[in-house]
Amino acid sequence: MLSLALFVASACGERERGPSTEARTAAEATTAAGSTLETQPGTTAAEPPATTQPPAPPPAPEPPPPSPPGKEQGPPDLPPPGAPAGGPPPAWIETEIGPTWLAYGGYCWGRTCTDYVRARGCDDGGVPGIPIRPGEVVRIHLAFAPREVVVGVTPGGRAAQLPPRRVVSWPADAPGSLSVSASARPGQGGSNASYAGCLEIVNP
């Protein structure tokens, strides 16, 4: 009887102490595996590829200059203004309405130099009126090879240095007294010459 009681007590003690060491180890391994699966899932979302900023677009091209008149015209039918003795050759301006001789301004040509007390303009009776359309581009014709050409309108206009050519294009942006000044290249017979006109805006 004593042996039976000891066996029963031993069995009851085993049940109270809980599962064996092997069982506890297996349970802990299962718990650790589950924790690993929760914190480190088998698949992860791929990170999006790094994006690069597109290159900046090139700057917009500058608008082209206004178109010059169509077919080049010839000089005016009327004779040019009387050239001073030993003075520079005449010059003329070409517009959409037609060509016009320019008046002489100051000059140094050959052995003669002359100048006006003030620039010739629209209030000078000897300066021709030149009808132009709003915003048109005119051509100025010189009879010698220039080294420098400057064109301006007063009042309200602006002076512009143009390419040194016998025929230059210029946007007539305002009415008023036109001044054309040109210095000659060596061997042209003179040093510099200026010409004058009066730009008058007319309706298209």
For residue 168, give the nearest of 151, 184, 191, 185 by alpha carbon: 151
pLDDT at residue 201, rounded to an integer = 93
First CA to last CA distance, the chain: 138
pLDDT confidence of residue 2:
39
CATH of the structural domain 109-201, one choice from 1.10.3430, 2.60.40, 1.20.120, 2.40.10 = 2.60.40
- Give me the half-sphere count of Cα atoms (radius 13 Å) on the Cβ side of residue 91: 32
Reading the block at residue 170, the tokens are: 């210029």
Residue 190 φ then ψ, to 5°: -160, 180
Q: What is the mean pLDDT of each run of 10 residues along the chain (204 residues)?
A: 41 45 47 44 53 65 47 86 84 96 92 75 89 94 96 85 96 91 92 94 84
The pLDDT value recorded for residue 136 is: 93
CB 141 within 8 A of CB 94: yes
Query: What local confidence, expressed as pLDDT, does residue 121 receive?
Result: 82
* pLDDT value of residue 174: 87
Other CB atoms within 10 Å distance of the CB of residue 162: 16
- pLDDT at position 141 is 98
